[in-house]
Amino acid sequence: MTVVAPDVVWSDAPLLPPHDPFYATPPGIDLLAPGAVVRSRPVEVALFGVVRQRISAWQLLYRTCDLDGVPEVAVTTVLLPWGSSARSRPLVSFQCAIDAVAPQCFPSYALRRGAQTIGSIAPLELPIIAMALAQGWAVSVPDHEGIGGRFGAAREPGYRALDGIRAAQQFTEVGTAVALWGYSGGGLATAWAAELAADYAPELNIVGAAMGSPVGDPAAAFVRLNGGWFAGFPAAFVAGLRQAYPELGAMLDDRLDARYRDLLREAEQRSTFALLLRFARRDIGAHLPAGMGELLAEPVLRRILADIEPGTRAPAAPLLVVQGVHDEVIAVADIDAHVRRYQQAGATVRYLRVRRGAHLPLEFLIVPAVLDWLSDRFAGLPAPTGTCTVASVARSPRALRTHFAFLRLAVRMLVGQPISGPREDP
Chain centroid offset of residue 3 CA = 27
Q: Which amino acid is at 248?
A: L
| Integer-rounded Cα radius of gyration of the chain | 20
Residue 395: the pLDDT is 87
Question: In this predicted model, what pLDDT tens digit does every residue of 120-178 receive, in sequence order?
Answer: 999 999 999 999 999 999 999 999 999 999 999 999 999 999 999 999 999 998 888 99
Per DSSP, helices labelled H in 115-174 are 122-134, 156-172
Answer whether 145's CB lies under 8 Å from 151's CB: yes
Residue 332: the pLDDT is 98
| DSSP string over 367-416 | HHHHHHHHHHHHTTPPPP-EEEEES-SS-SHHHHHHHHHHHHHHHHHHTT
The answer, as to whether pTM is greater than 0.85, is yes
Catalytic hit among 40, 108, 120, 184: 184
Residue 12: count of CB within 10 angstroms of its CB: 8
Task: Please give the average per-residue pLDDT across 370-384, as a whole number.
Answer: 98
Confidence of residue 5 (pLDDT cuts 50, 70, 90): very low
Distance CA 106, CA 100 (A): 9
Q: Find the helix packing angle between 218-225 and 299-307, rounded to 10°.
A: 120
Answer whether 149's CB lies under 8 Å from 101's CB: yes
- On the question of pLDDT at 1 being above 70, the answer is no
Name, in order, each residue with C-beta under 8 angstroms of 400's C-beta and a sequence gap of 6 or more: 394
Q: Which of 193, 187, 185 is nearest to 165 (CA)?
A: 193
Residue 383: count of CB within 10 angstroms of its CB: 16
- 68 is annotated as an active-site residue: no
- On the question of pLDDT at 282 being above 70, the answer is yes
Catalytic hit among 120, 327, 334, 420: 327
Catalytic hit among 144, 287, 338, 359: 359
**Which residue ranges make up each domain of the chain?**
17-217+309-414, 218-307
- 287 is annotated as an active-site residue: no
- Residue 140 backbone dihedrals phi, psi, to 5 degrees: -110, 125
According to the CATH classification, is domain 17-217+309-414 in 3.40.50.1820?
Answer: yes
3 state SS of 63: strand
What are the C-alpha distances in Å from 272 to residues 4, 89, 269, 277, 319?
A: 34, 33, 10, 9, 28
- 19 is annotated as an active-site residue: no
Quick one: fold of 218-307? 434 Repressor (Amino-terminal Domain) (1.10.260)
Name, in order, each residue with C-beta under 8 angstroms of 274's C-beta and a sequence gap of 6 or more: 118, 119
Distance CA 25, CA 30 (A): 11
In the chain the first and final C-alpha atoms are separated, in Å, by 17
